[in-house]
Amino acid sequence: MEVAMPKDLQQDAILAEKRYKELCRQGRIFDARSRIISGDTQAWDVQVHEQKIKEATEKARHETFAAEMRHNDKVTCILQDRERRDRKQLCCAINNFQQTFQKPETRREFDLSDPLALKKDLPARVSDSDRRNTISGMQKFMGEDLNFHQRKRFQEEQNREWFLQQHREWERARADHKLAEDLHTQTRLKFDETARGLQKLEVLTRREVCAATKEFNKSQVMELTERKRQEKQKEQEDNMAEITNLLHGDLLSENPHQAASSFGPHRVVPDRWKGMSQEQLEEIRFTQKQQIQEKLRLQEEEHQRSMDWDRRRIQKARTSLLHERQQQRFQRELRRALDCSNLSLAREQYLQKKQINEASTSQPTEDFFSQFNTRSR
């Protein structure tokens, strides 16, 4: 009994997958509908499914919006009904208030439209002192004014009361005006006094600030003058000390040891060095001559080396040119032989094809056509 190894199972799985892909490819290629449409139906189905999902989502979204709109409409209707009911209750309350506290009998002009005015009205004349007895009423005539003195006294008393009331009002207005003027005058005087005090305080403050600034500036000027005097005195002392040092120093006395550097005996201080001796100059000239001769020798060697390299380069270029020409001749001969061989082969192929065409007279059968379209490749 043979045991299947994992590697064999993997190969079988790969072969099965390849066969399945081949069958799927043959189904796509040999299907006339798919071949005519020449499109990916699976992708189209996926797109249709996605479009349906999108439409369903859009429909659900619209339905959600519609439900929300219905809910808002219901809430709006409830609020409108509540507002209508509140308005109706308010109108009822206003009517009840009018019927309870604003009856027609309590109106000021009710006597003009009272239906029982004639029943409630007094007779045309009650007595001679009736106030309703006017001249146009024809109830009282000239010479029948029995209450003349009482009426005149009442009028005089009324005029006196009116005059006293006007006088009291005038006195009260005058007192209020005087009180307002006094209050305004006191306030203005107080403001003037405060402004004068502030102005005086500002003048004193400005005067003290100016005095302090003047004293500060004076002290600064004195300090600056003293500092300049000290700096000038110090500069004069430094100049005198420097002149003394220069007169008694090694610079003007031309001491040769003053140019010795602390970094080594072969180095000098440039600002103190007075020049080289004659022996040093001779040694330097001799060294320069040796360096010139050495440089001429190196230049000659470099020149000889350059000429040698040029000669070798020219010889190598000539050899390369000859080799290249030989290769070109060999390529031309090889191409010429290949052309002759191709020409002979073409002639033989043409003759062989002509003979096959002349000898072939049979027609193709069904077996010849059945061997096509068996695979997808």
Token pair of 273, please?
A: 């060095």
36-45, 149-158, 300-309: the lowest-pLDDT one: 36-45
Domain stop point among 166, 193, 228: 228
Residue at 213 is within a domain: yes
Q: 159: exposed, middle or buried (C-beta count within 10 Å: 0-12, 13-18, 19+)?
A: exposed
Q: Indicate the pTM of the whole model.
A: 0.24
The rounded distance, in Å, linking the Cα atoms of 304 and 231 is 73
Token pair of 146, please?
A: 């029995």
> How many domains in the chain?
2
Q: How far is CA 66 from CA 56, 74, 76, in A?
A: 15, 12, 15
Closest CA to 122 of 103, 147, 139, 106: 139
Closest CA to 123 of 133, 112, 115: 133
- Using pLDDT thresholds of 50, 70 and 90, give the confidence band for residue 107: confident
Strand (E) or helix (H) holding 114: none
pLDDT, position 119: 80
In eight-state DSSP terms, residue 104 is G
For 375, residues 6+ apart whose C-beta sits below 8 A from its C-beta are: 22, 26
For 205, residues 6+ apart whose C-beta sits below 8 A from its C-beta are: none
Residue 1 reports pLDDT greater than 50: no
Domain stop point among 68, 97, 126: 97
Q: Which domain holds residue 193?
A: 183-228
Domain stop point among 60, 82, 97: 97
The 3-class secondary structure across 318-346, one letter per residue, is HHHHHHHHHHHHHHHHHHHHHHHHHHHHH
Token pair of 376, please?
A: 């997808």
Tens digit of each residue's pLDDT (9 = 90 or more) over 17-46: 888 888 887 777 776 666 666 666 777 788
The rounded distance, in Å, linking the Cα atoms of 24 and 16 is 12
Residue at 112 is within a domain: no
Residue at 203 is within a domain: yes
Token pair of 63, please?
A: 């339905």
Tens digit of each residue's pLDDT (9 = 90 or more) over 265-277: 667 666 666 667 7
Q: Enumerate the β-bridge partners of residue 261.
A: 264
Token pair of 321, please?
A: 């040119």
Who has greater pLDDT, 73 or 133?
A: 73
pLDDT, position 286: 92
Cβ 267 vs Cβ 261: under 8 Å: yes
For 147, residues 6+ apart whose C-beta sits below 8 A from its C-beta are: 128, 129
Residue 361: half-sphere exposure toward Cβ, Cα within 13 Å:
2
The rounded distance, in Å, linking the Cα atoms of 90 and 7 is 95
Q: Enumerate the β-bridge partners of residue 260.
A: 268
Residue at 244 is within a domain: no
Residue at 251 is within a domain: no
pLDDT, position 362: 59
Residue at 73 is within a domain: yes
In eight-state DSSP terms, residue 44 is H
The rounded distance, in Å, linking the Cα atoms of 23 and 49 is 26
pLDDT, position 81: 93
Residue at 376 is within a domain: no
- Using pLDDT thresholds of 50, 70 and 90, give the confidence band for residue 162: very high
Beta strands in 69-154 (DSSP E): none
246-260, 274-288, 359-373: the lowest-pLDDT one: 246-260
Cβ 139 vs Cβ 124: under 8 Å: yes
In eight-state DSSP terms, residue 35 is H
Who has greater pLDDT, 73 or 276?
A: 73
Residue at 159 is within a domain: no
Average pLDDT, the chain: 82
